[in-house]
């Protein structure tokens, strides 16, 4: 009898497990790709700078095949600086260089689907285009001249163009059919994505060069005079504002760094090298951490399996830092060999950073703190992924990297 009962229990558990697997139990779409090989993995969008509206710059992965070793599958030369990573959706990367030359690249075979200049009146001149964003069949580009442009994602034809007051250095974000971005005329602007109509504007005390982030009905923005603030996305009403020059550890500086939201906090770095964590609800400074030089990149935040919630950020002091996201204490630091000018990203178990001094991008295992990847390509935000491959953004080139781990 006990043996029969035992066999029944084992069979029942096996049946439950099989049903659970078929139903997708034990995870959610936010858990990242899960498959036995890259070709079987589901495509994952990376539609904007930071990947998600919280701008965490993190793609979790249940399987290890997205981690190094990696090999080059193909590359495309855009012939000018790529300052921001491409927007990736539905197997296509939308990449734009400093001159406003945009390409739609099919990622499985690097075929160019279309090309266009997002600012033809300045063709041949640098226009300082910000990070592209994909949303509901459109791709949006903003440039320093104040133009916000929407193009059809399939054809590249212009859908609408809106001239905003001031220079645009802030990468747009799309949430719920609305675009949000900042201007150097101290405005946060909400624009309807379907036709470019301005829905509301909020006037901040200083220019906004960082990109806004979103979580749970709130917009988080940092300005260029030490301020971080929170707005209601519906109407732009101010919820809280914190002037970091008037709170410990004091000091002063502006924010190029775009906020990242996770673990109940807002993380951003002032350009004097101070990394901050703010309480998401109140704006109170929870902790700060001083690097030893400028920081212009945005923080990546992740809870990589086997590690505590962490903030990863590079500094001009030539180090990549891993900080405990709850306390701000340094977990480890890695000597990159040169100033880190941009934003690190975390894909799977690996943190990627780059330096123009070394002309190299490196990958560091988040758990062992050891270098597991290096390539002689350097960029501001060096790596993104679609869940099947990784894509290195070099100074001029977009490089497709094929995982070699089985």
300's tokens? 């990546």
Note the pLDDT of residue 13: 35
Closest CA to 351 of 329, 340, 336, 366: 366
Interatomic CA distance for residues 88 and 75, integer angstroms = 16
Residue 205: its pLDDT value, please? 85
Structure tokens that stand for 245 in this block: 């020059």
Domains and their CATH numbers in the chain:
26-403 (2.130.10.10)
Task: Judge residue 335's burial from the number of C-beta atoms within 10 Å of its C-beta, 0-12 exposed, 13-18 middle, 19 or more buried.
Answer: exposed
How many Å separate Cα 78 from the centre of its chain?
21
Nearest to 192 by CA among 202, 181, 184: 181
Tally Cβ neighbours within 10 Å of residue 371: 15
DSSP designation for 76: E
The Cα 41–Cα 33 span in angstroms is 6
What stretches of 300-396 adopt beta strand conformation (E)?
A: 300-302, 310-314, 319-324, 330-335, 345-347, 350-355, 360-365, 371-375, 383-385, 390-393
Chunked into runs of 10 residues, the chain (406 residues) has average pLDDT values of 39 36 33 65 94 97 87 94 94 94 95 88 65 96 90 96 87 95 90 96 91 97 95 97 94 93 98 97 97 95 97 98 98 97 96 97 97 94 94 95 83
- The reported pLDDT for the residue numbered 34 is 60
Burial status of residue 8 (CB atoms within 10 A of its CB: 0-12, 13-18, 19 or more): exposed
pLDDT of residue 122: 58
Q: How many CB atoms are closer than 10 A to CB 28? A: 7
Distant-in-sequence, close-in-space partners of 15: CB < 8 Å, separation ≥ 6: none
- Nearest 5°: the CA angle 126, 224, 337 is 70
Asked whether 344 and 352 are in contact (CB, 8 A), the reply is: yes
């Amino acid at each position: 009898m006990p043996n029969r009962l035992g066999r029944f229990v084992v069979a029942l558990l096996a049946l439950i497990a099989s049903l659970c697997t078929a139903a997708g139990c034990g995870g959610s779409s936010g858990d990242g790709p899960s498959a036995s090989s890259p070709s079987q993995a589901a495509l994952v969008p990376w539609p904007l700078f930071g990947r998600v509206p919280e701008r965490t710059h993190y793609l979790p992965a249940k399987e290890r095949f997205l981690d190094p070793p990696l090999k080059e599958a193909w590359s495309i030369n855009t012939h000018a600086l790529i300052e921001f990573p491409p927007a990736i959706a539905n197997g296509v990367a939308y990449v734009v260089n400093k001159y406003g030359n945009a390409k739609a690249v099919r990622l499985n075979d690097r075929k160019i689907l279309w090309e266009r200049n997002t600012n033809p009146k300045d063709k041949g001149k640098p226009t300082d285009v910000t990070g592209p964003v994909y949303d509901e069949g459109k791709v949006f580009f903003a440039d320093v001249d104040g133009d916000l442009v929407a193009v059809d994602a399939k054809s590249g034809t212009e859908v609408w163009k809106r001239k905003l007051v001031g220079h645009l250095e802030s990468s747009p974000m799309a949430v719920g059919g609305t675009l949000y971005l900042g201007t150097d005329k101290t405005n946060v602007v909400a624009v309807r994505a379907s036709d470019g109509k301005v829905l509301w504007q909020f006037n901040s005390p200083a220019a906004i060069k960082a990109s806004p982030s979103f979580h749970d009905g709130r917009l988080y923005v940092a300005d260029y005079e030490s301020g971080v603030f929170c707005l209601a996305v519906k109407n732009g009403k101010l919820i809280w504002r914190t002037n970091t020059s008037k709170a410990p550890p004091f000091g002063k500086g502006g924010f190029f760094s775009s906020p990242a939201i996770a673990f109940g906090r807002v993380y951003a770095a002032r350009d004097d090298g101070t990394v901050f964590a703010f309480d998401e609800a109140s704006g109170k400074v929870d902790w700060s951490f001083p690097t030893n030089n400028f920081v212009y990149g945005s923080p990546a935040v992740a809870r990589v399996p086997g590690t505590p919630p962490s903030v990863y950020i590079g500094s001009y002091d030539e180090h990549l830092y891993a900080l405990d996201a709850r306390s701000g204490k340094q977990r480890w630091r890695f000597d990159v060999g040169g100033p880190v000018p941009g934003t690190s990203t975390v894909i799977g178990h690996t943190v990627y950073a780059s330096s123009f001094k070394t002309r190299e991008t490196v990958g560091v295992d988040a758990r062992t703190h050891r270098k597991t990847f290096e390539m002689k390509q350097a960029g501001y935000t060096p790596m993104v992924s679609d869940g099947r491959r990784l894509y290195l953004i070099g100074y001029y080139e977009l490089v497709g990297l094929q995982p070699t781990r089985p």
